[in-house]
């Protein structure tokens, strides 16, 4: 060992990066003090103390609540109302506490990494373990441990290059959306999932008169083994799939047919027809649905009135199970065809004319041209839209609920009618029957289906194959 | 012989077009006719009333809370439009122009969330709003809409940003422009079509929605148009059809005009959302 080496070891101090990390692990800021980052160390210690005193006990209590879901219901003792535990609030609080706890742990890990990295950098520099000179604005921009280069993957602060700066900007820009998505989508979704593993349902387990408890997979086993539930779920699921498929295909090919009709060389005033036919798309859908609900009314409806005046019998548009299904399809066609027509019209005009001319030279007829040129071209351009329409029809709650209320009622079903889809059924068992756990179990099954379809769809589109 | 066949084909085509046209406008004409019809009955005999009157519009404004619903809906829609456009453009910019850890995972998550209908988690949203004191407030509803619009909007917007060549921005940066300059002076002006689409959908979404207001807004003074109009039709007494029709006309007219006016942006935006992602 040369003299120089020894000098370096001596000047860097005896502490290794691991020691600095360990110090910071025991008490945030400890490692930073060792690195002679006094202000930063003090700040971290203060934050650490505050977290230990304020946040940690609350989180611990909330987590305990999440495990037990409460043990005393609200009751009346000697004529006085005694507030007990509200299982559902405990559940939500516990969930939020999980996120808070995870965030705190992450901050702590960043603090440890920070101490370790500065120590290692100091040793590598061979100089005294001085903090890197920080410019004024950088120091000001780092008031809390969270700002200490969270996405910085480089080993040395001096290497913090373009990527880590971009990371910091990205975090700043994404933070609001992240919070929104967390509280509006992710937390509710997790809550929803958790409910499936409890007995949260009417009439015996509704807080705060009674408690809710964890029941494991019981809800799922009831959904899959109880005859009434199974047949309802199976029936609705089957109709839901058939409905999504039929409505999508009918509207798509209907739209294509009308677009082709307008494109026909004998048809004049193309623009006028197109504008007229696109009207239903521009008309607010919920109003259109409500109008159809009135139009197809069995006793008073104008459509049946019209039929009667022509000497024809009235049709049970919304009261016969089979007819009601057809009515729903019909109304959907009225509402969706225009958008597809407009879209497909645009695509039809992008097909190169010379393809058709070449085909004609080869003696192809109208049918062959359509099958070999038009159809492949259109399908290729619109297959993602087809899948997207399928997904949105699968969950077309508004149409079903506003048009038929899911009815006519089906006596073989649990709380559902013949045209109910899964989503409207879930709505009913949640808001009308308060069978929260069952609604949640059904929605989990549904989510899996939707997620599979959407991932299948988008993983093929080019956004995912982009190169950096 | 051929000429005759040609004429027959043409006649058939026009007959078909006429039939589609009739089916297309029948419900629309019916609503307008019922709204203008002096009586309270459903119009069966003739589509258009002989003595049109605006009586029902006056009754609608006097006897129901229609004006209040209208104001509520507009407030919610405009607020949501501003808030979600801000969220969406900023987020889409980060995803399109910055490279950071977790980018792919983030995009994938948004994608799956987009397919998840927001109100599947009604219970949780209900409890969350209740606990934060936002139940039965417009703010609560706006926050939920804004959060829900992020995923779809970001995909459309990011897809559009991706098509704008970076060389433009690099040139500006060489000329001394900052990140914010580039964003506001170059990227946004070039993204007007996508921006229009995102703003329009954020505006129209709350007008059309029925279910979320139904859950969040519990008192009648907070109701939106969709709730109010549904109440008129689902009413078992079936007494207020003409009021419903009048309300529908007042609601549908501006939206239909808006749609027809921005048709191009909307149809292309929807297509872009599907294939560019």
A235 burial via Cβ count (<10 Å: 0-12, 13-18, 19+):
middle
- Interface membership of A452 toward B (CB under 8 Å): no
| Phi, psi of A70, rounded to the nearest 5 degrees | 90, 155
Q: What per-residue confidence (pLDDT) applies to A454?
A: 67
Contacting residues of B for A446, CB less than 8 Å apart: 120
Beta bridge partners of A417: A409
Nearest to A463 among B30, B102, B159 (CB): B159
3-state secondary structure of A77: strand
Q: How confident is the model at residue B264 (pLDDT cuts 50, 70, 90)?
A: confident
Closest-CA distance, B260 to chain A, in angstroms, reads 6
* Lookup result for tokens 């109008």: A291
Contacting residues of A for B23, CB less than 8 Å apart: 334
pLDDT per residue as tens digits for the range A63-99: 998 998 888 888 888 888 888 888 888 888 899 899 9
CA distance B112 to B104: 13
What contacts B161, CB < 8 A, 6 or more positions away? B92, B93, B96, B97, B187, B191, B194
- Interface membership of A443 toward B (CB under 8 Å): yes
Phi-psi domain of B230 (left: phi exceeds 0; alpha: psi -120 through 50; beta: other): alpha
pLDDT per residue as tens digits for the range B216-256: 898 888 999 999 988 888 766 556 788 888 999 999 999 99
Tokens found for residue A83: 């507030």
3-state secondary structure of A99: helix
* Lookup result for tokens 């400890």: A30
The closest of A337, A265, A65, A284 to B258, measured between CA atoms, is A284
Contacting residues of B for A261, CB less than 8 Å apart: 13, 16-17
* Lookup result for tokens 């002006």: B189
Query: Taking a C-beta distance cutoff of 8 angstroms, is the pair B228, B69 a contact?
Result: yes
Q: How confident is the model at residue A301 (pLDDT cuts 50, 70, 90)?
A: confident
Q: What per-residue confidence (pLDDT) applies to A464?
A: 47
Contacting residues of A for B88, CB less than 8 Å apart: 177
Q: DSSP readout, A168-191?
A: HHHHHHHHHHHHHHIIIIIHHHHH
Contacting residues of B for A259, CB less than 8 Å apart: none
Q: What per-residue confidence (pLDDT) applies to A457?
A: 66
**Residue of B123, B180, B243 best to disrupt the A interface, most CBs of A under 10 A:** B123
What percentage of chain A carries pLDDT values higher than 90?
Answer: 25
pLDDT per residue as tens digits for the range A254-295: 999 999 999 888 888 888 998 899 899 889 989 999 999 988
- Looking at the predicted structure, is the pLDDT value of residue A25 above 50? yes
Contact A455 B112 (CB under 8 A): yes
pLDDT per residue as tens digits for the range B74-109: 999 999 999 999 999 999 999 998 888 888 888 888
Q: Using CA atoms in the order B198, B200, B203, B205, what is the torsion angle rounded to 10 degrees?
A: -80
Closest-CA distance, A149 to chain B, in angstroms, reads 12
pLDDT per residue as tens digits for the range A336-379: 999 999 889 888 888 888 888 899 898 888 888 888 888 888 88
The distance of Cα A276 from the centroid of its chain, to the nearest Å, equals 36
Where is average pLDDT lowest: A188-197, A449-458, B2-11, B21-30? A449-458
Q: How confident is the model at residue A60 (pLDDT cuts 50, 70, 90)?
A: very high
* Lookup result for tokens 């006094």: A38
Tokens found for residue A173: 């820009």
Query: Taking a C-beta distance cutoff of 8 angstroms, is the pair A280, A334 a contact?
Result: yes
CA distance A454 to A461: 11
Q: DSSP readout, B98-146?
A: ---TTHHHHHHHHHHHHTS-GGGGHHHHHHHHHHHT-TT-HHHHHHHHH
Which residue of chain A has the CA closest to B210?
A: A398
- Looking at the predicted structure, is the pLDDT value of residue A463 above 90? no
Nearest to B111 among A88, A430, A458 (CB): A458
The closest of A139, A321, A361 to A236, measured between CA atoms, is A321
The residue with greater pLDDT, B270 or A24, is A24
Q: What per-residue confidence (pLDDT) applies to B43?
A: 54
The closest of B177, B25, B173, B220 to A273, measured between CA atoms, is B25
Contacting residues of B for A463, CB less than 8 Å apart: 107, 155, 158-159, 162, 276-277
- Interface membership of A349 toward B (CB under 8 Å): no
pLDDT per residue as tens digits for the range B141-161: 999 999 888 888 898 899 889
Contact A343 B267 (CB under 8 A): yes
Contacting residues of B for A269, CB less than 8 Å apart: none
User: Residues 100..139 of A with a Cβ closer than 8 Å to B: which?
Assistant: none
Tokens found for residue A419: 């045209």
Contacting residues of A for B273, CB less than 8 Å apart: 388
Closest-CA distance, B139 to chain A, in angstroms, reads 13
pLDDT per residue as tens digits for the range B172-211: 888 888 888 888 888 999 998 889 989 988 998 899 888 8
Alpha helices by DSSP H, listed for chain B, are: 2-36, 55-63, 66-97, 103-114, 122-132, 138-163, 166-174, 179-181, 188-190, 192-208, 211-216, 225-234, 241-261, 263-275
Contact A282 B122 (CB under 8 A): no
Nearest to A92 among B109, B117, B128 (CB): B128
């Amino acid at each position: 060992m040369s003299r120089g080496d020894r000098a370096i070891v001596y000047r860097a101090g005896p502490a290794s990066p691991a020691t600095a990390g360990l110090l910071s692990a025991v008490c945030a800021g400890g490692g930073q003090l060792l690195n002679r980052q006094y202000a930063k160390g003090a700040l971290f210690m203060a934050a650490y103390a505050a977290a230990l005193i304020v946040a940690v006990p609350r989180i611990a209590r909330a987590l305990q609540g999440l495990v037990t879901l409460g043990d005393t219901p609200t009751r009346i003792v000697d004529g006085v109302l005694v507030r007990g535990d509200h299982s559902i609030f405990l559940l939500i609080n516990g969930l939020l506490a999980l996120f808070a706890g995870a965030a705190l742990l992450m901050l702590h890990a960043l603090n440890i990494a920070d101490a370790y990295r500065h120590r290692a950098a100091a040793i590598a520099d061979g100089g005294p373990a001085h903090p890197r000179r920080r410019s004024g604005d950088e120091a000001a921009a780092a008031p809390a441990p969270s700002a200490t280069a969270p996405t910085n993957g480089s080993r040395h602060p001096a290497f913090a290059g373009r990527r880590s700066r971009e990371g910091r900007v990205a975090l700043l820009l994404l933070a609001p959306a992240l919070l929104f998505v967390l509280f509006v989508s992710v937390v509710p979704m997790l809550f929803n999932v958790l409910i499936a593993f409890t007995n949260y349902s009417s009439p015996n387990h509704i807080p705060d008169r009674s408690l809710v408890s964890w029941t494991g997979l019981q809800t799922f086993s009831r959904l899959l083994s109880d005859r009434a539930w199974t047949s309802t779920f199976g029936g609705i699921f089957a109709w839901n799939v058939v409905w999504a498929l039929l409505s999508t295909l009918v509207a798509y090919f209907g739209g294509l047919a009308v677009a082709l009709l307008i494109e026909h060389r004998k048809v004049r005033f193309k623009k006028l027809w197109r504008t007229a036919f696109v009207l239903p798309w521009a008309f607010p859908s919920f109003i259109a649905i409500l109008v159809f609900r009135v139009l197809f009314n069995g006793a008073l409806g104008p459509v049946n009135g019209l039929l009667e005046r022509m000497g024809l019998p009235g049709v049970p548009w919304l009261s016969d199970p089979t007819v009601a299904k057809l009515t729903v399809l019909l109304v959907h066609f009225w509402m969706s065809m225009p958008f597809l027509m407009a879209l497909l019209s645009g695509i039809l005009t992008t097909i190169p004319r010379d393809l058709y001319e070449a085909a004609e030279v080869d003696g192809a007829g109208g049918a062959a041209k359509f099958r070999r040129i038009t159809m492949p071209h259109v399908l290729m351009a619109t297959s993602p839209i087809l899948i997207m329409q399928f997904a949105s029809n699968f969950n077309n709650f508004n149409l079903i609920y506003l048009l038929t209320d899911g009815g006519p009622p089906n006596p073989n079903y649990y709380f559902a009618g013949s045209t109910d889809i899964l989503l409207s059924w879930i709505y009913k068992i949640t808001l009308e029957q308060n069978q929260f756990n069952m609604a949640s179990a059904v929605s989990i099954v549904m989510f899996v289906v939707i997620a599979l379809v959407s991932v299948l769809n988008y993983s093929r589109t080019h956004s995912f194959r982009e190169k950096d | 012989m051929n000429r005759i066949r040609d004429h027959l084909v043409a006649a058939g085509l026009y007959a078909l077009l006429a039939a589609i046209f009739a089916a297309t406008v029948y419900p629309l004409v019916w609503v307008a006719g019922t709204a203008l019809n002096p009586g309270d009955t459903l119009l069966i005999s003739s589509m258009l009333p002989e003595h049109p009157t605006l009586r029902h519009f006056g009754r609608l404004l006097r006897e129901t809370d229609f004006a209040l619903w209208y104001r509520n809906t507009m407030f919610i829609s405009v607020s949501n439009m501003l808030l979600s456009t801000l969220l969406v453009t900023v987020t889409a910019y980060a995803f399109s122009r910055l490279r950071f850890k977790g980018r792919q995972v983030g995009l994938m998550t948004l994608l799956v969330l987009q397919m998840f209908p927001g109100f599947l988690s009604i219970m949780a949203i209900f409890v969350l709003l209740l606990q934060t004191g936002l139940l039965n407030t417009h703010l609560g509803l706006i926050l939920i809409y804004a959060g829900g619009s992020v995923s779809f909007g970001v995909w459309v917007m990011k897809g559009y940003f991706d098509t704008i060549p970076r060389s433009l921005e690099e040139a500006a940066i060489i000329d001394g422009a900052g990140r914010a300059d580039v964003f506001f002076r170059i990227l946004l002006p070039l993204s007007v079509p996508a921006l229009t689409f995102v703003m329009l959908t954020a505006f129209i979404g709350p007008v059309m929605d029925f279910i979320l207001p139904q859950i969040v807004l519990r008192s009648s003074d907070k109701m939106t148009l969709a709730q109010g109009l549904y109440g008129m039709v689902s009413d078992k007494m079936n007494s207020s059809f003409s009021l419903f029709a009048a309300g529908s006309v007042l609601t549908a007219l501006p939206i239909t005009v808006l749609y027809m006016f921005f048709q191009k942006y909307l149809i292309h935006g929807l297509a872009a959302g599907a294939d560019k992602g």
